[in-house]
Amino acid sequence: MHNRIRPYAWGSRTAIAELLGAPSPSPHPQAELWIGAHPADSSTLVDERGERSLADLIAQDPIGMLGEPSYSLFGPRLPFLLKVLAADEPLSLQAHPSVEQATRGFAAEETAGVPRTSANRNYRDSSHKPELICALTEFDALCGFREPEATVRLLSALGVPQLDHYLGVLSGQRDEYGTRALFSMVITIPPAKLGPLLADVLSACVEKVRSLTASEFDLEYRTALSLGERYPGDPGVLASLLLNRFVLAPGDALYLPAGNLHAYLHGVGIEIMANSDNVLRGGLTPKHVDVPELMKVLDFSPGDVPVLRGDPVADRHVVYPTPTPEFRLSRLELRGEQREVTHRGPQVLLTIQGEIVATDGKGAEIIVPRGHSVWFAATDGPVWITGNGTVFRATDGLPG
């Protein structure tokens, strides 16, 4: 496969370049390597017949490429998109809609005549976008609303009188309704009030970080300071103090269902998602922010978000389970042995370390070195791999 690089400003100049064996640092930031058949940037398949768009090949033979189960459930499109994500700077504070919300929002914007390429467009398709991120390096993220009791402690410890009004909202109703009310107030503070409040909050964060007394929320305060420096006057800086803060070790993963408010802060990871472009932003970005629409899709249920470490399938083979039928991600460590990875639907194998050799049902072999990927259609099985290295495997989430 030949895959596309997205050069967003928050990307790394080294991570993707080094993975691909290209000159490093790269001339421009490289944020995401897209591996799949997204219509905006489809991968191509390279063989003796040349280079052909994977999206076009699926359109020509959807059942043969995807298999009958995937085609019946998702239609003539690859249901997942695999990415290598490399963040040197924070991504926007964002959430993704459910199927029902995406269908309704897309239809409304189509009826209103909002161009699909417009910067003010919220829904670029009618699909939901659940996703999973698996860390390749230490990976920092904000994900989901924290338990209200902990957030009350965090904000109270700052000792900022101007926060008392906001604290009262959550203290009086320590559940999803209180969380919703507090976030709504924070994200809609008028700029004239936000500036002084944010200055006082960040000054208090500085004092906490400088204090010789260890704080329960030292990492959260440092995160707010870092975001405040990058996004001065952005309400998303205050909102970050309401969210769970994660430092993932390599191999750890987070699953983000519809409505989960999150922001990736720094690190390199493997991301897999339903094949959609729908993003509702809430801050930490110069891009379009639609707070009323964001409020419609957010899940305000507070609490811990589980860190997934993979369920063992076999020796050095783990799968990251999610309830999403569009995708399944697994990680395999090969030490010279041969393993069967047949699936009755589509699959992509991406080598992260070392080199593997993949063999299809016709006996054709292909070498897949570090940074490269290989596509197998539903009709290509059985599939075997051997070699020495680390491989991520992306399939649909259907049985078989």
Active site residues: 281
Q: Which two tokens stand for residue 55?
A: 């999206």
Give the distance, in angstroms, between the CA of residue 338 and the centroid of all CA atoms in the same chain. Answer: 31
What is 168-188 written as a DSSP string?
HHHHH--SHHHHHHHHHHHHT
First-last CA distance in the chain = 23
Return d(Cα 212, Cα 230) in angstroms, integer: 26
Looking at this protein, which amino acid is placed at residue 334? L
* DSSP character at residue 242: G
The helix, strand and coil proportions of the chain, stated in percent and rounded to the nearest 5, come to 30, 30, 40
Place of tokens 């298999």: 67
Pick from 125, 131, 109: which is nearest to 77 by CA?
125
Return d(Cα 151, Cα 171) in angstroms, integer: 9
Q: CA separation (Å) from 91 to 153, 221, 282, 321, 345?
A: 27, 18, 11, 25, 32
What is 352-365 written as a DSSP string?
EEEEEEEE-TT--E
Q: Are 370 and 353 in contact (CB under 8 A)?
A: yes
Q: Are 387 and 357 in contact (CB under 8 A)?
A: yes
Reduce the DSSP state of residue 333 to 3 states and report it: strand
Looking at this protein, which amino acid is placed at residue 220? E
Return d(Cα 271, Cα 131) in angstroms, integer: 7
Q: Which two tokens stand for residue 38?
A: 């997204």
Return d(Cα 138, Cα 27) in angstroms, integer: 24
Angle between helices 148-158 and 176-187 (to 10 degrees): 40
- Residue 148: count other Cβ atoms within 10 Å of its Cβ: 20
* DSSP character at residue 12: B
Beta bridge partners, 351, equal 391
